[in-house]
Amino acid sequence: MKSRVLVITSGKGGVGKTTTTANLGTALAMMNKRVVLLDTDIGLRNLDVVLGLENRIVFDIVDVVNGHCKLKQALIKDKRFEGLYLLPAAQTKDKTSITPHQMKNLVNELCKDFDYVLVDCPAGIEQGFKNAISGADCAIVVATPEVSSVRDADRIVGLLEASGLNNPQLIINRLRSKMVKRGDMMDIEDILDILSIDLLGVVPEDESIVVSTNRGEPAVMESSSRAGGAYRRVARRITGEDVPVLSFEERNNIVDKFKQMLKIAR
């Protein structure tokens, strides 16, 4: 199988790029794929923390690119899954320490050993973004149902197309179906109307994400997590399986069910 290089980007910060990268990577590794996660947010690295691998870092992406160490020495093996690896970003350097050309070579090198290379892109559209998208053959755009996030996502889609990355895929993150129902939040259709790109998945707002992120254990590992389940479905879609996009109803509690029954009785 030819390996795929997916860059996860958004333009706006705080919409869940790193969380998405960690969860999709873990979910793919759970499906026995060989996956490497590439953190390109040099100077503000987070992916290692989200994966709980921070204390294993010895070498980072800048060391690899500058030839201070071999690629194999810098790759950190995940503590839970056999096929999951992380190449951490440097924290004490800045985004100009590597060039798009070097990044491309690095990604090509990684493709020899892995089925999937997931690139976690920094926020913004400057050097870090240009580094991250060079070498990618597909882009995943993460957006939350907010006007500002969708606006930035639109800008990103334009920039991606300008650099030859056509057909980016959209993940809508942190959707609250209750607010959508009340009309207080953009719904999936509104966002797709504006961006007019393919929908890869919808991830509901979920408190368990905060818990799992703080603990350094991706939510996909927890079977009860709603967001984790959504990420698992997105991962299956990435591997080519045909999985329907669920519309997320807030889980009904007993009181709600009782009310519904009363309504029917009336």
Partner 1 sequence: MPAALKNVYEEMYINLQKPDTFMEIKRELEKKLCSIDNYLLGTRVNIDVGNKHLSNKQIREIEDILLDHGLHLKDLKSNESLGLPNACEDDKSFDFEELPDYAETKLICKHLRSGQKLITGGNVVILGDINPGAEVIAGGNILVMGNLKGMAHAGAYGDENAVVAAFRLNPTQLRIANHITRPPDGEVIQVNNPELARIKAGKVIIEKLKI
Task: Report the nearest approach of partner 1 to the CB of residue 55 (Å).
Answer: 4
Query: What is the distance in angstroms between the CA of the first residue and the CA of the last residue of the chain?
Result: 58
Cβ of residue 79: shortest distance to partner 1, in angstroms? 6
Which of residues 92 and 223 has its CB atom nearest to partner 1 in the complex?
A: 92
Nearer to partner 1, 101 or 215 (CB): 215
Among residues 12, 255, 253, 7, which one has the least CA distance to residue 123? Answer: 12
State the minimum distance, in angstroms, from the CB of residue 213 to partner 1.
Answer: 15
CB of 194 to partner 1, least distance (A): 36
Residue 251, judged by CB atoms within 10 A of its CB (0-12, 13-18, 19+), counts as: exposed
Residue pair 24/231 in contact by the 8 Å Cβ criterion: yes
Which residues make up the interface to partner 1 (CB under 8 A)?
Answer: 43-45, 49, 52, 54-58, 79, 91-92
- Which residue, 89 or 157, is less far from partner 1 as judged by CB? 89
Return the sign of the alpha-carbon dihedral for residues 36, 41, 43, 44: negative
CA nearest to 141, candidates 1, 16, 266: 16
Token couple for 149: 């996030």
Nearer to partner 1, 93 or 237 (CB): 93
